[in-house]
Amino acid sequence: MGDPVDLIVVGSGPSGVQAAKAAIESGLSVTVVDVGHHEDGLAGLVSDRPFSELRRTDREQHRYFLGPPRPGGVAAAQRVGSQLTPPRQFILRDVDRYLPLESATFFPLQTLALGGLGAGWGAGTPTFEDFELRTAGLEPAVLARYYRQVAEDIG
């Protein structure tokens, strides 16, 4: 396996990568391990051109932004993960089987995808509104520096 390391981070999603980054910056040697689903078949649908350019110029963007109509209509579109574009739907694969969860009030987005929930990110990651943070008991000004750091890290 090579040289010993100080820390092994399991999962290369956004949380795992941030943990690994912090450990490396503090001088630790780190190995990140991950295993999970990936989607080769639909990946070719998504152009590597900038999002703003695609929205202005690609007449076929509906294929990967919206996909085909969903069976079940609006009700089907309200389930966890419905916001994922068709090429990113794979991140939900096997979640019900391996991460079963039943709740009437808690509906997390879980994944077994390579790269964690980061595999579901599209053009960006939304931030919480100030009123949402205050409702949760968090001060927006305190989180502002963390938002800036994540934006710097992920571009």
pLDDT in tens, 36-58: 887 777 666 667 777 788 888 98
Q: How many helices (H) and strands (E) does the chain have?
A: 7, 2
Establish if 134 belongs to a structural domain. yes
Establish if 63 belongs to a structural domain. no
Establish if 23 belongs to a structural domain. no
Quick count: other Cβ atoms within 10 Å of Cβ 90?
23
Mean pLDDT of the 79-95 span? 78
Q: Could you tell me the pTM of the whole model?
A: 0.55
Establish if 145 belongs to a structural domain. yes
Say how many domains are in the chain.
1
Higher-pLDDT residue of 94, 83: 94
Quick count: other Cβ atoms within 10 Å of Cβ 139?
10
Establish if 139 belongs to a structural domain. yes
Establish if 39 belongs to a structural domain. no
106 CB contacts (<8 Å, ≥6 apart)?
none
Whole domain around residue 132: which residue ranges?
Answer: 125-155
Mean pLDDT of the 100-121 span? 83
Establish if 95 belongs to a structural domain. no
Predicted confidence band of residue 69 (pLDDT cuts 50, 70, 90): low
Mean pLDDT, all residues of the chain:
80
Predicted confidence band of residue 77 (pLDDT cuts 50, 70, 90): very low
Establish if 131 belongs to a structural domain. yes
